[in-house]
Chain A
Amino acid sequence: MPSPPSGASAWRTARLLSREPQISTGRTLRFTVPDWPGHLAGQHVDVRLTADDGYQAVRSYSLAAPAEGDTVELGVQAAPDGEVSPYLADVLPIGAEVEIQGPLGGWFIWTPRDAGPLLLFAGGCGIVPLMAMLRARRAAGSAEPCTLLYSARSPDEVWYARELADPGPAEEIRLIYTRQAPPGDPRTTGRVGAQDLAGLPEPGSARCYVCGPTGFVEHVADLLQTAGHPRELIRTERFG
């Protein structure tokens, strides 16, 4: 298990560089963080906001990509009535600052040194840390097979749609629509089922990462175990 980089507990000033819409409530935010120590795919950061009277609020957000120098990319989904996420998603001006602490998390991580097929299961905005793994894998030119199974309500709820439409070598993207599918999708809409797992690499060799709402994670982890995937190779991260 890797050690967290020293200084992970320090708060660093982060300047908002750009904001890009992903879905109606989801944004890609890029921050410049001087002296960023680097991070592993799957890790997250804490973001701290400070009001004029000194009141502070902190929330965790997943890193969506490998670092590019001092630039980090976060995926932020605006939670209804949220205290922090709607502000980050729609209010924080470009060029303004927040504070960031991290990288955090030493378990739900993947590095190109982790051998064997890679299976990624994303529910909704649970795609964000898994996208970091997919991108890290692409950047490393890994030849191991990788499947991303991504469950979304409808086509306009799919993050990183353009990037996912162009799979890399040995990479398969399976989009599972739960409410509304695009015209011509042969699959009946509905939550992920055992049949959606057909043709995946043999249980016992593949590392499985599952991220999303609790109901999705519980369900997929059960499906994987029923299909014979050993629990030691299933790592989970849950939102909400």
Chain B
Amino acid sequence: MSGLSPGFHGRGRALVDRLPPGQYPTESFPVLSIGPTPRVTTDHWAFTLTTETGSRRSWTWEEMMALPQERPVADIHCVTRWSKFDTRWQGVSLDVLLEEAETAADFVVAESFDGYTTNLPLEDVTDGKAWLAHSFDGYPLAPDHGGPARLVVPHLYFWKSAKWIKGLRLTVQDEPGFWETAGYHNYGDPWREQRHWNDA
């Protein structure tokens, strides 16, 4: 690669084993969203799980907070190339929310209060891989970071971790969401650098 970027030395080689390809570490917590931040209050909040047959189960804020709580610590990776190490969340494992659902679906669509959607394979949000998170660093999740509650799926690019989530819809067919229909990869594995449609 000689001849490229003369005089560029860079830094960050020390973190290379925790950093997926093409990412850089950040200490800050950048905000990315497609429009205005929706203001959702917890007394009007509900999380609804809808199965492929149309049956629904909803939790109010109080009911959700009464469920078993977990405190995952995870590295997160944004497709805009920042990664943040050891982020500390509190919330409910999606395993708890999906426990009693009777479904033959293989996919879910996460739906947000602002109309945003993102799709994931069901197996990527079960077995301790995803949370409905309401706190970050010990404090209630701020509105610009998705509060009162967001999805957190650390092993995929962070656009899959829908902010302001209001529900999950189980689907038999995979239904590409907002960014997945706008040029971004359908699955989004940071370690395989699946950013855009044409990435393997």
Give the B-binding residues of A (Cβ under 8 A).
1, 3-4, 6-10, 13, 46, 49-52, 54-60, 83, 87, 91-93, 96-99, 104-108, 214, 218, 221-222, 224-225, 231-232, 234-236, 238, 240
Q: Can you list 22 contacts pairing A with B, beta carbon distance less than 8 Å?
A: A7-B198, A8-B183, A9-B199, A49-B4, A51-B9, A55-B10, A55-B13, A57-B24, A58-B24, A59-B81, A60-B80, A83-B10, A87-B8, A92-B7, A99-B4, A104-B183, A106-B182, A106-B183, A108-B34, A222-B37, A224-B36, A238-B30
Within 8 A of A (CB), among B1-54: 1-13, 22, 24, 28, 30-38
A58-B81, A236-B34 given; A1·B182 CB < 8 A: yes
Given contacts A49-B8, A232-B35, A238-B31, 18 further A-B contacts (CB under 8 A): A4-B196, A9-B198, A50-B5, A51-B8, A54-B1, A83-B10, A92-B5, A92-B8, A96-B4, A97-B3, A97-B5, A106-B182, A221-B35, A221-B37, A222-B37, A224-B36, A231-B35, A236-B34
> Is the Cβ of B182 less than 8 Å from the Cβ of A83?
no
A4-B197, A214-B144 given; A97·B4 CB < 8 A: yes
Closest chain B CB from A103 CB (angstroms): 10
Q: Does B181 contact A (CB under 8 A)?
A: yes
A232 contacts which chain B residues (CB < 8 A)? 35
Give the A-binding residues of B (Cβ under 8 A).
1-13, 22, 24, 28, 30-38, 80-81, 114, 144, 179, 181-183, 195-199
Say whether chain A's binding surface is mostly helix, strand, loop, or mixed.
mixed
Across the two chains, which residue of chain A brings its CB closest to B81? A58
